[in-house]
Structure 1
Amino acid sequence: MLPPAFLVCALAAVAHASPHHAHKVFESIASPDGWANLGAAPIDHIIPLRIALPQANFAALEEHLYAVSDPAHERYGAHLSKSEVEALVAPHPDSVSAVDAWLLEHGIPDSACTRSPAGDWVSVRVPVPVAERMLDTTFHVWKHTEDGNEIVRTTRYSLPAHLHAHVELVQPTTLFSRVKARRAEARSVGVQARVHDVRGVVAVARSDGTKLTVDAGCNETVTIACIRQFFNIGDYRASGTNGNQIAVAGYSEEYANAKDQQLFYADQLPEALNTTFKYVLVNGGKNGQDYDSDTYAENSDMQTVLGLAFPATGTYYSTGGEGPWIEDSDTRTDTIAPYGAWLDFALAQEKLPQTISTGYESHEQTIPESYAKRVCAGFAQLGARGTSLLVMSGNGGVGDAEGDPRTQSCWTNDGRHKRQFLPSFPASCPFVTAVGSTVFIPEVAAYSSGGGFSNYWSRPSYQGRAVSEYLTTQLRGTYAGLYNPNGRAYPDVAAQSINFRVALYGQLTAAGGGQQATAAFAGLVSLLNDARLAHGKPPLGFLNPFLYSSGLAVFNDITSGNAPGCGTQGFNATEGWDPITGLGTPDFGKLKDLALAF
């Protein structure tokens, strides 16, 4: 049921004001499937409106981002400060004035507004009658037909015509979401071939013709020692005294558990016993340390990143709330993590971790494009400030993370009901590093590894050569019409993803999925940052321009396996970049030498 409503007296007292600016429809949607309209919203219900103002100089921020992220550029590593980034994304004064005047016309003074540090978001809490007058609409109570969840939304809203150039989005309005966001399911996956002999070692051929030996037992159980072998980390150990930090961003009421972290350390990293990580609560997030809480995914993530990066300082962000969501035929519950709320918090901090891992995914089409692009712009701000953000490419091949990738069918949710591969967000954002999945020795692509091409973003310049070669020499028109060949392609890289030995609910067990690969790769990036910091160099920051240029030749190319979905065999792993394992899996020794060379 709806929470008890209350009045904001100061605003309600002026709610009768009726500005005379002509409104023009800003956004409208069809009546949402699975929701029943129960009638007009209560007049005393409070709506927390968030208004996005255009970021006046984002193009300049993007130029700075690519300059400081490209090893060939003279400004490589000269990351921007918090204030420098905020100056670039701050809205134009005309937009601020126009929106402020509009709010004041409806009795909302500046003192009633909350603004982001850059001023590009304005938040107000208003009663339904005020929101309806502001947006020339009618809000209704909508009830979900399956779980009975009730929300207050509209299917159409307007803004004064002169405001359309000064506002990018206003929410929550047309966004129909469930109470609890769902994290993509983590699961162990099988592949086409597997080595069963767990005695001795296995010699793995690398892309440059060299050999790397890995304990054959890593086919059955992947430990931190196994990952260090897979990545060719050798005996490198982080210093722990140079300010290196790594974090996991968690959502969906899932929590990292301190007791399980100690059990993991006792099992695999005894030198870390009795150390802990920082737990930061964001947007009403909680710290669920009892075993009644959902600890599966975030436990395994924290254990993997700190298992590799120790003794780097670790942080877990527990972010509450939900993100905006549009239902599609495969997504009947809200899968959208509240990235915006976490970004509001993170970007307000003076200092950020150099490496952040997050293992969440949703169909790109289930996220309103305006919201997705604002979130992606926030990720660009992280990169400009020197943070490497690693995200998983997905757990559902070219389609749905919830079903068996081999049998799923995939349809657009734009009214056309067109069969189409379903790109994943946030992996499809060009300002993150998306991590695909491999399994076993020798490594092959995991059949659940997400990959594909965005429908929201065009292919970034750093991918031009690698992806173009794949399209022209490997794919050659296969699946034409099922994907956007001009879109941002993902994943960028890959890592081991199944049978990780972790501690969950007080017991040692196995975990797997794309988020494990992401956490492992994030741990490796943290070690690269540690090496640079130890040599007086800035952190790597946004990785992709480096990976697709200088780093291109030092990845281990994965050429076996495929990721089926949407009633097809999906994409294949093949020579060079491919949309299932990206550039391949990393060789730490070679990447470290490169990272210290500039």
Structure 2
Amino acid sequence: MRVLNLKFTLLASLLTLAVAVPQSISPYLVKEEILPPRGWVKSGRPPPDHAITLRIGLPQPNFHVLESHLYEISDPDHERYGDHLTKEEVEDLVRPHPDSLDAVNEWLYSAGFAAEEINRSPAHDWVLLTIPVSKAEDILDTTYHIWTHTASGDSLVRSTRYSLPSHLHGHVELVQPTTMFGRMNAHNSAIFSPFEEEDVAAPLAQTVPAGTLDAVDPSCNTTITVSCLKQLYNATDYEASNTTKSSIGITGYLEQFANIQDLQSFYAEQRPDALNTSFKFVSVKGGLNNQTLSEAGAEANLDVQFAFGISYPVPGTFWSTAGRPPFIPDTRTVNNTNEPYQDWVDSILGQKDIPLVISTSYGDDEQTVPENYARRVCASFAQLGARGVSLLFSSGDYGVGDGNANPATQQCFTNDGKNQTKFIPVFPSTCPFVTSVGGTQNINPEVAVSRFYSGGGFSNYFDTPDYQKAAVSKYISALPKGLYKGLYNQQGRGFPDVAAQGDRYRIWLAGKPGKIGGTSASSPAFAGFVALLNDARFKAKQKPLGFLNPLLYSKGVAGFTDILSGSNPGCGTPGFNVTKGWDPVTGLGTPNFGKLKEIVTKQY
């Protein structure tokens, strides 16, 4: 491995976990315990032979070194800007201390597991065991139940407490699935029917000459197309190359299938030069991409059609990660009981070549994800950033509230048993190592989207990162004194970071055209323009952008159009207001591709 320019050394970091491995298994002590989350009720016990995959997370003693690398190589003012790490270098930096590996191995061997039954991530920071739930109860000194979500009917096999031998507490950060009750949802608007059928002959925006930003086709006020976005964001005169190294990917979950026939109909209408091209499909954990028109997914179709339509001919990849099917009490087959984010990121981290821009339009209420688990997933995203990948997530559609579409009736209470009224931030958008994308609507001027409300606010888990401290502090200090006191974390990571159009997108679904909205549209659209920026950097013989935020909050600010109108109501409040500069509704604003291209192709 090449010498890394840091003041930290691997030896010093390893010594922090130099704990002797005991010769015998110590008594069990509770490792984690939670109160039953709101909205979930016990509905039975799983069959003893119901199979689950336990994920055991070992500490990453050198993560602070990786984080330092990430910020250096993502800072356009640093001499190492763009000097991304290799897969092997990242794995070396997140590898557990040998004592942790030995302690966990001894525990599992003593519990009767053979070496071939124990699977590990490439860096050995995760141990995976697929075992009957009865065996999981034995080794975790716990009891699993079937828990049913009263509003949706979804069911999970979970526990509210588990234990580990006391000597392992310093060698194991977390074990899941145990206390993880998150319900990953697509971030498309639930306020209206997600697909509104239209006449196939509905007028679409026409391309306007480059440099005439004020002359965006008026039809873009009612229907958003690829042409509208390129006009609005000053990209009509840019043509990508199919010979550079730029690439883009879309994640799919929950049995959302991206239909190729619909993509061809979309291309014929909005991107005829892309006709007869498609995307690379990759299955994760057995994920499918069924091509029957009736099984086409609105979310998946929206994401691939606009991300790939904007970035064409940049090659695209669509991942389908097997979801969490509803638990059926009498089933004896293996169910995917893990949170799919980590399944996906584990798979991607194991690959040598990864698309350089990846958009995800799914998320959970932050409080439904145990903090230790959220931090580990977020740390995995940092690993991708260190390898030169730009990760974008939609910010959510319910303003400052929970998943209830009506902001006046949202139940915004904490899940910690105190039932305190709080705004509900959205994970993974709250992770400081990703770029969160909010929603706008209309043209000349753009405003914060109002048919649903752009998710935004402040994390309760992650502190404000250095790259946005000045912007967040300026916004909070300008709020009326005492406004929303106690409802949000003033020291939290603010989101979203940026915004893009988020409503009235014209897609094709099951053979028909129609409209759809949500920040699930904003993120793939923004990702398409990032893929074009990478294309421009490659043409200039530069490296990919990688983790975007340090650039966006510094030199990149000049490449955004500030949004000055709107808010994101929720929890019975008006929510946060849009204001000059960064705000927790539309972030820094919407992209001006022409200006951003000039900024990112300068030699830093």
Give the equivalent residue in structure 2 for 1:246: 248
The whole-number CA distance in structure 1 between the counterparts of 2:307 and 2:448 is 22
Opposite residue 350 of structure 1, the aligned amino acid is: K
Give the equivalent residue in structure 1 for 2:273: 271
CA offsets per residue over residues 121-144 of structure 1, 9 Å max, x none? 001123445333322233445566
Shift of 1:571: 0.7
Pairing 1:511–2:516 present: yes
Alignment map for 1:135-174 (pairs within 5 Å): 135-140=140-145, 151-174=156-179
Opposite residue 548 of structure 1, the aligned amino acid is: Y
Give the equivalent residue in structure 2 for 1:464: 469
Alignment map for 1:444-523 (pairs within 5 Å): 444-447=447-450, 448-523=453-528
Give the equivalent residue in structure 1 for 2:15: none
CA contact (8 A) 1:182 1:336 kept: no
Q: Aligned to 2:215, what secondary structure does the other structure show?
A: strand
Give the equivalent residue in structure 2 for 1:543: 548
Shift of 1:500: 1.3
CA contact (8 A) 2:35 2:416 kept: no
Shift of 1:219: 0.5
Equivalenced residue count is 558
CA contact (8 A) 1:434 1:492 kept: yes
Give the equivalent residue in structure 1 for 2:283: 281
Q: Aligned to 1:568, what secondary structure does the other structure show?
A: coil
Q: Aligned to 1:170, what secondary structure does the other structure show?
A: strand
Pairing 1:214–2:209 present: no
Give the equivalent residue in structure 2 for 1:11: none
TM-score computed with the length of structure 2 as normaliser: 0.87
Which of 579, 590, 594 matches 1:589?
594
Shift of 1:337: 5.8
CA offsets per residue over residues 560-588 of structure 1, 9 Å max, x none? 11111110111111111111011111111
CA offsets per residue over residues 342-394 of structure 1, 9 Å max, x none? 00111000011110111112210011111111111111111100010111111
Shift of 1:323: 11
Give the equivalent residue in structure 2 for 1:92: 97
| Most deviating of 30-39 and 95-104 | 30-39
Structure 2 spans left out of the alignment, 5+ residues: 1-23, 194-202, 327-335
Pairing 1:108–2:108 present: no
Shift of 1:270: 0.7
| Most deviating of 27-36 and 303-312 | 27-36
Over aligned residue pairs, what C-alpha RMSD do you find?
A: 2.8
| Most deviating of 282-291 and 560-569 | 282-291
Pairing 1:119–2:121 present: no
The whole-number CA distance in structure 2 between the counterparts of 1:152 and 1:566 is 30
The whole-number CA distance in structure 1 between the counterparts of 2:258 and 2:587 is 29
CA offsets per residue over residues 455-509 of structure 1, 9 Å max, x none? 0000000001111111112454311111001100011011111111111110111
Alignment map for 1:326-337 (pairs within 5 Å): none
Q: Aligned to 1:157, what secondary structure does the other structure show?
A: strand
Give the equivalent residue in structure 1 for 2:4: none
Q: Aligned to 2:574, what secondary structure does the other structure show?
A: strand
Give the equivalent residue in structure 1 for 2:186: 183
| Most deviating of 455-464 and 500-509 | 500-509
Q: Aligned to 1:570, what secondary structure does the other structure show?
A: coil
CA contact (8 A) 2:205 2:220 kept: no
CA offsets per residue over residues 6-48 of structure 1, 9 Å max, x none? xxxxxxxxxxxxx752111111233455433535x54444332
The whole-number CA distance in structure 2 between the counterparts of 1:304 and 1:436 is 16
Opposite residue 319 of structure 1, the aligned amino acid is: T
Give the equivalent residue in structure 2 for 1:6: none
Give the equivalent residue in structure 2 for 1:338: 340
Give the equivalent residue in structure 1 for 2:446: 443
TM-score computed with the length of structure 1 as normaliser: 0.88
Q: Sort the Cα spacing of 1:78 and 1:562 in 2 relative to 1 into closer, same or farther, 3 A.
A: same
Alignment map for 1:23-422 (pairs within 5 Å): 23-31=28-36, 34-36=40-42, 38-39=44-45, 42-140=47-145, 151-176=156-181, 181-186=184-189, 212-322=214-324, 338-422=340-424
The whole-number CA distance in structure 1 between the counterparts of 2:205 and 2:350 is 51
Shift of 1:559: 0.7
CA offsets per residue over residues 372-419 of structure 1, 9 Å max, x none? 111111111111000101111111111123322354341111111111
Q: Sort the Cα spacing of 1:263 and 1:129 in 2 relative to 1 into closer, same or farther, 3 A.
A: closer
CA contact (8 A) 2:182 2:364 kept: no
Give the equivalent residue in structure 2 for 1:580: 585
| Most deviating of 490-499 and 41-50 | 41-50
Structure 1 spans left out of the alignment, 5+ residues: 1-18, 191-197, 325-333
Shift of 1:174: 3.0
CA contact (8 A) 1:497 1:516 kept: yes
Which of 562, 565, 582 matches 2:567?
562
CA contact (8 A) 1:188 1:512 kept: no
Shift of 1:183: 2.3
Shift of 1:293: 1.8
